[in-house]
A = this chain, B = another copy of it.
Amino acid sequence: MNITIVTKPHDRLASALSEEMAAVDRLIRARMHSDHAPRIPEITAHLVEAGGKRLRPMLTLAAAKLSGYQGEHHIGLATAVEFIHTATLLHDDVVDESEKRRGRPTANLLWDNKSSVLVGDYLFSRSFQLMVETGSLRVLEILSNASATISEGEVLQMTAATDLRTDESVYLQVVRGKTAALFSAATEAGGVIAQASETEVKALFDYGDALGIAFQIADDLLDYQGDSSATGKNVGDDFRERKLTLPVIKAVAKATPEEHAFWKRTIEKGQQEDGDLDQALALMAKYDTLTATRRDAEAWAKKAQAALTALPDHEIRDMLHDLSAYVVSRLS
């Protein structure tokens, strides 16, 4: 007898959906192939084999299963969701000139910007082909809307990230774009494909939206308090990259004129010196913004859990509940 002790909600979901996830994996491999351009699978394989958590397609599968879906279209839909995610990672790599992604060199260092842009476009097109195969115009509507929101969020972030006038509402808009839009589309579309009731579809959207926001706020908080061996990033990367995130936005809102000048110099003008990160952390401590940020993440996790109450009683629903709790449990 093979006893596995599974604790993390993500792993429990993966286990409950293991057949479907395996089917998604096969479809990802089949559809990233290109007869005409062999370089395409070379690049996508790099990303696909690196794996990642496949959280987004899992949310689609979970939403469909929870809604009692019996068909086969959820596999193609979940694959489409993962392709959109992978395409945005490829384009982000170009954009940010980031050097690492999932602990490996990014595609644009191994190949070049050219390949990252075009292969991202290819996956994006493949994703829409997969959606067409589901035969659901509503699925196409949900995911084309999400894709537009994602690009808008990324463009907004370009200008907002180094602008001290960026307040919590602009931050939320950026977070909805860069993270929550695909989470909520993944869960909503999973319900739609299963022909869930409108109330349930709405609840699935709300769950994905709140989970995505909690997830991103947690990520931004961990940047300032994380253990670099666990996150693979260094504390304060966002500060060094001049990215205004919630812990700093809260400190800027309360800043004295002198403190404001500090933020202006380090974030807006990007003139950073030794000791500036310590000073930034001290200002966040002064106003206890890391705690306030954690409370915000927890509130969004609660919102996600509240949305679930409109959904059928199901083991998957319990796992989704635990997943939202887990996202913020890393923070305390």
Contact = CB atoms under 8 A, between A and B. Distances in A.
A141 B129 contact: yes
A40 interface: yes
A94 B115 contact: no
A230 interface: no
Contacts of A155: 34, 37, 39-40, 115, 118-119, 122
A173 interface: yes
Interface in A160-209: 173, 177
Q: Please give the count of copies of this chain that the complex contains.
A: 2
Contacts of A69: none
A259 to B, nearest CB: 29
A150 B34 CA distance: 12
A36 B159 CA distance: 11
A153 interface: yes
Interface string A28-64: 0000001011011000000000000000000000000
Interface residues on A, range: 35 or more
A117 interface: yes
Interface in A129-177: 129, 131-132, 135, 137, 140-141, 144-145, 147-148, 150-156, 158-159, 173, 177
A310 interface: no
Contacts of A126: 148
Interface string A63-92: 000000000000000000000000010010
A154 B151 CA distance: 22
Given A94-B94, A113-B94, A114-B158, A124 B124 contact: yes
A51 to B, nearest CB: 23
